[in-house]
């Protein structure tokens, strides 16, 4: 049973615009949330994270929002750049284990 869900398998956005990636989770024991970026045939690289005690964390062009009551997480990328084209995974931690969503493929159009 998938505890972390990314319901949009793909997202296409114009360069310079905002990309919004969404993630829903079911396990209320998750205490830490992360976003990873992945290129084909490579390992994921860490982007940004947020603790369950916060509702927002910002790092440059990347902002993660957490709505605990809705069990919803989102990643905003502003402005989107061609190098942002990749697969983005949402992950959530429960004690020892990181659970991942299925990923959203982002394509940034020139």
Nearer to another protein, 47 or 79 (CB): 47
Dihedral in degrees, nearest 10, Cα atoms 58, 73, 9, 2: 140
d(Cα 15, Cα 54) in Å, to the nearest integer?
30
Please choose, out of 14-22, 28-36, 60-68, 71-79, the segment that lies near another protein by the rule CB under 8 A: 28-36
Tell me the closest approach of the beta carbon of residue 73 to another protein, in angstroms. 14
Residues that bind another protein (CB under 8 A): 2, 4, 6, 9, 31-32, 34, 36, 41-46, 49, 51, 89, 91, 95-103
């Amino acid at each position: 049973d998938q505890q972390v869900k990314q319901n949009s398998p793909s997202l296409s956005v114009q360069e310079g615009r905002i990309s919004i990636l969404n993630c829903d989770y079911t396990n209320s024991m998750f205490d830490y949330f992360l976003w990873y970026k992945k290129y084909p045939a490579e390992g994921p690289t860490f982007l940004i994270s947020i603790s369950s005690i916060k509702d927002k964390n910002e790092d440059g062009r990347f902002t993660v929002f957490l709505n605990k009551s809705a069990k919803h997480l989102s990643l905003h990328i502003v402005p989107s750049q061609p190098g942002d084209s990749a697969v983005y995974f949402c992950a959530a931690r429960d004690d020892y284990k990181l659970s991942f969503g299925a990923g959203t493929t982002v394509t940034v159009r020139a």
